[in-house]
Amino acid sequence: MDKGPEAQLLKTAAVLIPPAEKIVITVITDNLADATRRDERIATRPVRRTSNLDAAMHAEHGLSYHIETMVDGRSHACLFDFGADARGVLRNIDLLKIDFQKIDAIALSHDHWDHQSALIDILKAKREEIRKVIPFYVGQGCFAGTYSRRPDGSIIRATELKKHDVEQLGLVRIVEVTEPAQIIPGACLPGRIEQVTDYEKVAPTFLAKQGGDYVQETFIGEQAVILHAKGRGLVVISGCAHRGIVNTVRQAQKITGITKVCAVVGGFHLTGAKTELIRRTIADIKALAPEYVIPTHCSGFETVMAFAREMPDEFLLNTAGTRYTIAA
């Protein structure tokens, strides 16, 4: 039994996340691939077996994770986000030997093409392996439609996934979450993420539709995965963090009552951001004192380089196919 200060916090928290003895995060696909990058600290890179292609991961402007928890000696697994190019993502799934028979749930951070376009084809390809009527967790208004204003003023739909297309497969049970919800033992979704910082704003280029009008998108239903590494604190995994990566971590702290942060992983949505925004984000992440910071996907080159420079002991460069193992 965990008798430490984190356990005491858990007793009074609104959301009880069982501490995991081990957490394994496998990045199925991401924007960067590097077949020659070496293992480092908690990161294990794909290993070449019989040919160079065995370690050649598909990379894309997309993101997908396989997350495994070990709680009380039992293993549980879920998928979080699904990437864009089904052929490439399925290739990575096979190379990484992801076992769909052991997946207990799937979840989507938000309904943008680079996080869900591959979902339907993945489900079809793994129809005989995946557990039938597996829960598919989505946030509020997931299928309502998100739009983007282009530089020329035109507006395009930024989503492709339709609820009917998912349901007619007969493979998943859609669960909409608006409050914190456990998806597998040791991992939960926040339901919603409050915006408490004064600088993390949703980009004005993102729009939602109300009646016949376009209004500012809020991404109120965007989800992250919150895990509790036994004795080490929170592990927070974002998709794009449109509502802010600092806000996302602070929400995790609020709903769990755990202040200690072990790792912050995911898209920070700072591509092309102004230097001051990047600086303030890094300052607040520093103040959280995580053991590891792993920016992925939409974090942006300048942001990745700034984290590498400002937090060299905590920073890890992510590549497609990397496995991160956090053990008690």
Q: Which three-class secondary structure string do you get for 183-199?
A: EECCEEECCCCCCCCCC
Higher pLDDT, 66 or 49: 66
Q: Residue 155: its pLDDT value, please?
A: 93
Task: Work out the average pLDDT over 111-133.
Answer: 95
Query: Which band of pLDDT confidence, cut at 50, 70 and 90, is reported for residue 10?
Result: very low
**Strand pairing partners for 173?**
135
For the chain, what percent of residues have pLDDT higher than 90?
Answer: 85
CATH number of the structural domain spanning residue 284? 3.60.15.10
Residue 213 inside a domain? The answer is: no
Dist CA 116 CA 5 (whole Å): 38
Query: Which band of pLDDT confidence, cut at 50, 70 and 90, is reported for residue 14?
Result: low
Q: Is the pLDDT of residue 233 over 90?
A: yes
Residue 63 inside a domain? The answer is: yes
Please, is 231 exposed, middle or buried when counting C-beta atoms within 10 Å of its C-beta (0-12, 13-18, 19+)? middle
Residue 202 inside a domain? The answer is: no
18 neighbors 88 (Cβ within 8 angstroms): no
Using one digit for the tens of pLDDT, what is the confidence trace for 15-60?
A: 789 999 999 999 999 999 998 899 999 999 998 777 777 778 999 9
pTM comes to: 0.93
Dist CA 88 CA 72 (whole Å): 35
Residue 13 inside a domain? The answer is: yes
Task: Work out the average pLDDT over 279-295.
Answer: 98
Residue 190 inside a domain? The answer is: no
Residue 322 inside a domain? The answer is: yes
Using one digit for the tens of pLDDT, what is the confidence trace for 292-306?
A: 999 999 999 999 999
Q: Identify the domain containing residue 155 by its residue range.
A: 5-179+224-327
Residue 193 inside a domain? The answer is: no
Q: Is the pLDDT of residue 5 over 60?
A: no
The count of domains in the chain is 1
Residue 218 inside a domain? The answer is: no
Q: Residue 4: its pLDDT value, please?
A: 43
